Structure 1
Amino acid sequence: MKGARMEKMPTIHAAAEDVRSADSEQLIKELSAELAALYQVEDGGAGFHPEDVERPRAAFVVARADGHPVGCGALRPLDASTAEVKRMYTRSDYRRQGVAQAILAEIERLALEFGYTSLQLQTGPLQPEAVKLYERVGYYPIPRFEGDWELVHAFRKDLVAAETLG
């Protein structure tokens, strides 16, 4: 029944926060556990370390729904003009409610503020929802740029072009 699901959608707000806060650490832990189980590996950390975002032109973004932490993402420098999106995660109860889009929008805003002209990211083949999201918000496929796992889906978004269009 369509009307039965008309609950009030939470207000989502995404902003940069301390990667070592209790909320940030818990979100990272949940994501790593989910990826480890999904890909049947011991470490679902995907090569991310908190110090990756504890430097200039980097950030860790936490999304909150009515004040509660529900997702995260990271902005990590690759070079002077390109940064990488890492650690994108939304708690399962909050998926398909705009959390990931809010995180990406804040990461893109920060990237522009920090002077980047493009963003890149990689995701795995067992995350088709993530691939669809990235394509829907303007990321396009590129060759793998890090690691040696051939099944990775890599994407790029040119921020200057996106800003000009917007």
Structure 2
Amino acid sequence: MTKVVAAAEDVRSTDATLLIKELSAELATLYQVSDGSAGFAPEDVEVPRSAFIVARLDDHPVGCGAMRPLDEDTVEVKRMYTRADFRRKGVAQAILIEIERLAGEFGYKSIKLQTGPLQPEAVALYERVGYYRIPIFSGDWDQVLAFQKDLLLVHDR
């Protein structure tokens, strides 16, 4: 199998826009809400020390993820998504590895993210790669599961 390549791209590119749209539609259906954007806007990753990552397999876009600053030391992961036909093939892990690499390069000390209870595969992935549960840090929806990874551990690999 060809290796998944995850790299920063323009959040407003055709591929990025389509991936974000697919994720928002999937989340809206999953959680039965009208807006599956989870408060994400492209402007969130057009600021310094942020990025939008697209994962590709044979140059075909198969997933995405975003990182936006929460504060000087902490970055938040948003818009993690893998197209259904490409799940369980290392796509999300490749995206997280690139986000962690960039976060370290940008000088962040920790990464936070939130996901929902109807996404057990996402929870399992985050826990498998070293994220630990923390209290909800954003929003007012009580069903959120929040996680953090300290980047000092990333650098020790």
Structure 1 letter corresponding to 2:20 = I
Structure 1 CA distance, aligned partners of 2:125 and 2:73? 23
What does residue 40 of structure 1 align with?
32
After superposition, the C-alpha distances for 1:48-79 in whole angstroms (9 at most, x for unaligned) are: 00000001000000000010000000000000
- TM-score under structure 1 normalisation? 0.93
Match of 1:133 among 100, 103, 125: 125
Name the SS for the 1:119 alignment partner: strand
- TM-score under structure 2 normalisation? 0.99
What does residue 56 of structure 2 align with?
64
Structure 2 letter corresponding to 1:56 = P
Q: Give 1:163 deviation, angstroms.
A: 1.4
Name the SS for the 2:36 alignment partner: coil
What does residue 3 of structure 2 align with?
11
Q: Give 1:162 deviation, angstroms.
A: 2.6
Q: Over alpha carbons, which structure has the higher Rg?
A: 1
Structure 2 CA distance, aligned partners of 1:55 and 1:145? 21
What does residue 101 of structure 2 align with?
109
Q: Give 1:154 deviation, angstroms.
A: 0.1
Q: Give 1:82 deviation, angstroms.
A: 0.2
Name the SS for the 2:147 alignment partner: strand
Displacement over 2 Å in runs of 4+: none
Q: Give 1:151 deviation, angstroms.
A: 1.2
Is 1:89 aligned to 2:84, yes or no? no
Match of 1:122 among 110, 114, 119: 114
Match of 2:139 among 147, 150, 161: 147
Is 1:29 aligned to 2:21, yes or no? yes
Q: Does the aligned pair in 1 maintain the 2:75–2:110 contact within 8 Å? A: yes
Structure 2 CA distance, aligned partners of 1:30 and 1:10? 23
Name the SS for the 2:78 alignment partner: strand
Q: Give 1:160 deviation, angstroms.
A: 1.1
Let me know the Cα RMSD of the aligned residues. Answer: 0.6
Structure 2 letter corresponding to 1:89 = Y
Aligned residues: 157
Percent of residue pairs identical = 73
Unaligned runs of 5+ in 1: 1-8
Structure 1 CA distance, aligned partners of 2:141 and 2:15? 30
Structure 1 CA distance, aligned partners of 2:4 and 2:31? 29
What does residue 74 of structure 1 align with?
66
Structure 2 letter corresponding to 1:95 = R
Structure 1 letter corresponding to 2:4 = I
Moved more, 154-163 or 68-77: 154-163
